[in-house]
Amino acid sequence: MEIKCIAGFASITKDPAASASLYQDVLGLPLEKMDDYRFMDEYPGVHHFGVWPLAMAAQSCFGQDEWPDHVPEPSATIEFELADAAAVEEAVQEMKENGQKFIHETRMEPWGQTVARFMSPEGVLIGLSHAPWLHE
């Protein structure tokens, strides 16, 4: 597996308004808004930063608005960018062969990103990702 960059980082919050206020109003980050999701792309040194509501993370991972009780709630997510969608699938298979359990298999999100996710020991939601717009 060859990580190309950190594709994105987002805090995961139960209170999107309070978190967005901290990052946007207090820290002055130029966050855009799409539904309840706040984000910025191509900020110097970062491809993507966001404030991701827990309900949206649950929908993306499990297809439901509630995070399941049997999986620890994450407080952040980080995504590692790979060369292409095939590299994501290869990395998932490699990690599974070494015992890694995934929250979900490799799939394409509605916004065009190929991603598979798992939880780190410290409770960070980690994605192996290919976002085509980062390679243009």
CATH (domain of 21): 3.10.180.10
Q: What is the pLDDT of residue 26?
A: 79
Task: Phi first, then psi: give them for residue 70, nearest 5 degrees.
Answer: -80, -5
pLDDT on residue 64: 96
Domain holding 13, by residue range, is: 5-135
- Whole-structure pTM value: 0.80
Give the model's pLDDT for residue 43. 83
3-state secondary structure of 128: strand
- What is the pLDDT, as a whole number, of residue 93? 96
- Please report, as a single letter, which amino acid is at residue 88: V
Residue 115 · residue 88 · CB < 8 Å: yes
Q: Is 20 helix (H, G, I), strand (E, B) or coil?
A: helix
Dist. CA 68–CA 1, nearest whole Å: 30
Residue numbers in the chain where pLDDT is lower than 70: none
Number of folded domains that form the chain:
1
Report the C-alpha gap between 80 and 8 in whole angstroms: 7
